[in-house]
Amino acid sequence: MFIRPMLALAAALSASLPVHAAEVPYPAGYRAWTHVKSMAILPGHALYEGFGGLHHIYANAKALAGYQSGRFKDGSVIVFDLLEADTSGNALSEGKRKIVGVMHRDAKRYAATGGWGFEGFAAGDPKVRAVGNQAKTACFDCHAPQAARGYVFSSWRE
Ligand code: HEC
């Protein structure tokens, strides 16, 4: 029977191929979703280098249900909208968009990164993928300690 050798060959081949993260869709229309929270990361903060600026977090309807129940179903999408923080005139205002970070829930498709697909669209351009196959090291490894909360840091408040 050659089923067994064929399976062994397939396994050997897939083990030797580079891992390609499944593509994460651009979150069209997210500005009209539910606003979860905002935060400003200013100079001096440990994450200023990568995440400095003013960010807003948005959830689609499924993700909002996930924030409320603690279980995020497939199709949940959360957006981390990072803008420059303009501190002129003793005010903190939104500046240019730096990146649109996305977490897209699909337990099977993104099994390698906790069931979430991670991507960042540079300057909010749907065509410019800043993360691609680096999702595990660039994003997931830092979210991993939040496993008990579905890998999500932020929480919903009434
Ligand atoms: C150094 C740790 C770290 C890294 C790396 C990181 N994140 Fe996060 N992420 C956070 C923290 C902390 C929050 C919560 C921010 C808040 O409460 O305003 C967050 C929030 C988010 C959210 C909103 C949902 C949530 O978990 O609260 C999304 C979406 C997100 N990150 C996407 C990404 C993407 C995409 C990448 C990779 C480009 C990434 N993150 C890399 C720490 C990280």
Phi, psi (5° rounding) for residue 122? -60, 130
Backbone φ/ψ region at 112: left (φ over 0), alpha (ψ -120 to 50), beta? alpha
- Tell me, yes or no, whether 5 lies in a domain: no
CA-based torsion, 154, 64, 54, 135: positive or negative: positive
- Tell me, yes or no, whether 133 lies in a domain: yes
Per the structure, how many domains does the chain have? 1
- Tell me, yes or no, whether 9 lies in a domain: no
pLDDT of the residue at 1: 47
- Tell me, yes or no, whether 121 lies in a domain: yes
Phi, psi (5° rounding) for residue 41? -110, 110
User: What is the chain's alpha carbon radius of gyration, rounded to the nearest angstrom?
Assistant: 18
Ligand 1 pocket mutation pick from 141, 143, 151 by most atoms within 8 angstroms of CB: 143
pLDDT of the residue at 22: 85
- Tell me, yes or no, whether 127 lies in a domain: yes
Q: For the purposes of burial, counting CB atoms within 10 Å of the CB of 11, is it exposed (0-12), middle (13-18) or buried (19 or more)?
A: exposed
Q: How far is the CA of 2 from the centre of ligand 1 (A)?
A: 47
- Tell me, yes or no, whether 8 lies in a domain: no
Give the CATH number for residue 63. 3.50.70.20
Per-run averaged pLDDT (10 residues), the chain, 158 residues: 52 50 94 98 95 98 97 98 96 98 98 98 98 97 97 97
The set of residues, in sequence order, having a beta carbon less than 8 Å from that of 64 and lying 6+ positions away, is: 33, 34, 36, 156
The set of residues, in sequence order, having a beta carbon less than 8 Å from that of 58 and lying 6+ positions away, is: 30, 31, 33, 34, 35, 36, 78, 79, 81
- Tell me, yes or no, whether 157 lies in a domain: no
pLDDT of the residue at 17: 47
- Helix, strand and coil percent figures for the chain, each rounded to 5: 35, 30, 35
Protein residues with CB under 6 Å of any ligand 1 atom: 37, 39, 47, 57, 78-80, 101-103, 118-120, 131, 138-139, 142-143, 152-154
- Tell me, yes or no, whether 2 lies in a domain: no
Domain holding 64, by residue range, is 22-149
